[in-house]
Amino acid sequence: MPLIKLLKTSTFRLAVIYLALFAASAITLLAYVYWNTAGFLARQTDEAVEVEIAGLAEQYRQGGLPLLVHTVIQRSRDPGQSLYLVLDPAGRVLAGTLDARPQVEPGPDGWFDFDYNRKTLDGVDIKAARARAFFLPEGFYLLVGRDVQERREIESLITNALIWAIGLTMALGLVGGLFMSRNMLARVDDINRSSRDIMEGDLSQRLPIAGTGDELDQLGRNLNAMLDQIEALMIGMRQVTDNIAHDLRSPLNRLRNRLEVTLMQEASADDYKQALEKTIAEADHLLGTFNALLMIARAEAGSLRDSMTWVDLSATMRDVADLYEPVAEEHDLSIAIEVPDGLQIWGNRELLSQALANLLDNAIKHGMPQSDDTERSIVVSAESDPDRPGRGILLSVADRGIGIPEGERKHVLERFVRLEASRNTPGSGLGLSLVAAVARLHGGTVELRHNNPGLNVTLFLPVSGR
Virtual CA dihedral for 298, 300, 306, 311, nearest 10 degrees?
100
248 neighbors 289 (Cβ within 8 angstroms): yes
Per-residue pLDDT of the chain (466 residues; tens, 9 = 90+): 456 655 666 666 777 777 777 778 878 887 887 788 878 888 888 888 888 888 888 888 888 888 988 888 888 888 888 898 888 888 888 888 888 888 888 888 788 888 888 776 666 778 889 898 888 888 888 999 988 888 888 888 888 888 888 888 778 777 777 777 677 767 777 778 888 888 887 777 887 887 777 777 788 888 888 888 887 777 766 766 666 666 667 677 777 887 777 777 777 778 778 878 878 877 777 776 667 666 666 666 666 677 788 889 899 999 999 988 988 888 888 999 999 988 888 888 888 888 888 888 888 888 777 676 667 889 999 988 777 666 888 899 998 888 887 777 776 777 655 554 454 455 555 668 878 888 888 888 888 888 888 889 998 888 875 5
Q: How far apart are CA 46 and CA 133, in angstroms?
A: 13
> What pLDDT sits at residue 144?
92
Phi, psi of 135 (to 5 degrees): -105, 120
> What pLDDT sits at residue 270?
81
Strands 344-347 and 309-312: antiparallel
Q: How far apart are CA 188 and CA 193, in angstroms?
A: 9
For residue 139, CA distances in Å to 57, 86, 204, 448 come to 16, 11, 102, 117
> What pLDDT sits at residue 420?
47
> What pLDDT sits at residue 423?
45
Give me the half-sphere count of Cα atoms (radius 13 Å) on the Cβ side of residue 105.
Answer: 2
Strands (E), 220-370: 309-312, 334-338, 344-347
Q: What is the torsional sign of CA 102, 106, 109, 114? A: negative
Residue 390 burial (C-beta neighbours within 10 Å; 0-12, 13-18, 19+): exposed
Residue 137 burial (C-beta neighbours within 10 Å; 0-12, 13-18, 19+): exposed
> What pLDDT sits at residue 421?
47
Bridge partners of residue 123, in order along the sequence? 120
Q: How far apart are CA 71 and CA 86, in angstroms?
A: 11
* Total residue length of the chain: 466
Strands 334-338 and 111-120: unpaired
